[in-house]
Amino acid sequence: MTATAIGTALALAACGGQGGSSSAEPRLKVTSSYMPAPVTNDMAAGFFTVTNSGGADTLISVTSSLAGDITLHSTKNGEMEEEKSFAVPADGRLDFASGGNHVMFEKLTHKPKQGEKVTVRLHFAKSGTVTVEMPVKSPTYNPETGH
């Protein structure tokens, strides 16, 4: 292969990465994160939305200095179930919302108060770590009405 041919092949490969196909790099954005102020010292829940304008990724774990034990939960037929991971579809979104998917914080190091921000790290299989400053809202906060 000549140098020109190699250059062309690389240019084509780079171009193929822009289309949002399944082999493309994920491009994640985490928005609308919040934590309802917990009413007990034992546990808290966290919610957010991941939007992806690239290839598929997977949320594999969540860490924070707030809690000694952090797990991923889904809600099926009104019952919580622990999940090992959550898929982030290519050109799609992954929603964590009250009554549905949530991050569960247990063994809290302190009780978060409304107005505080909790640093939470989301670990993705391909994109690595995304740090989120999760605002603590009222215990009954509804993201649709904003209060």
Per CB under 5 A, the list member of 58, 61, 73, 126 interacting with Cu ion is 73
Question: Near Cu ion by CB under 5 A, which window of 16-24, 58-66, 89-97, 101-109?
Answer: 101-109
Binding status of residue 97 toward Cu ion by CB under 5 A: no
The least CB distance from residue 80 to Cu ion, in Å, is: 4
Q: What is the maximum alpha-carbon separation in the chain?
A: 68
In angstroms, the CA 27 to CA 134 distance is 20
The least CB distance from residue 102 to Cu ion, in Å, is: 6
Contact, 33 vs 118, CB < 8 A? no
Beta partners for residue 28, in sequence order: 52
The least CB distance from residue 133 to Cu ion, in Å, is: 22
Per CB under 5 A, the list member of 80, 90, 97, 130 interacting with Cu ion is 80
**Looking at beta carbons only, is 80 or 130 nearer to Cu ion?**
80
Residue number closest to Cu ion, CB atom: 73
The least CB distance from residue 82 to Cu ion, in Å, is: 8
Question: Near Cu ion by CB under 5 A, which window of 30-38, 67-75, 119-127, 136-144?
Answer: 67-75
The number of angstroms, rounded, from the C-alpha of 96 to the middle of its chain's C-alpha atoms is: 8
Per CB under 5 A, the list member of 104, 126, 135, 143 interacting with Cu ion is 104
Radius of gyration of the chain (CA): 19
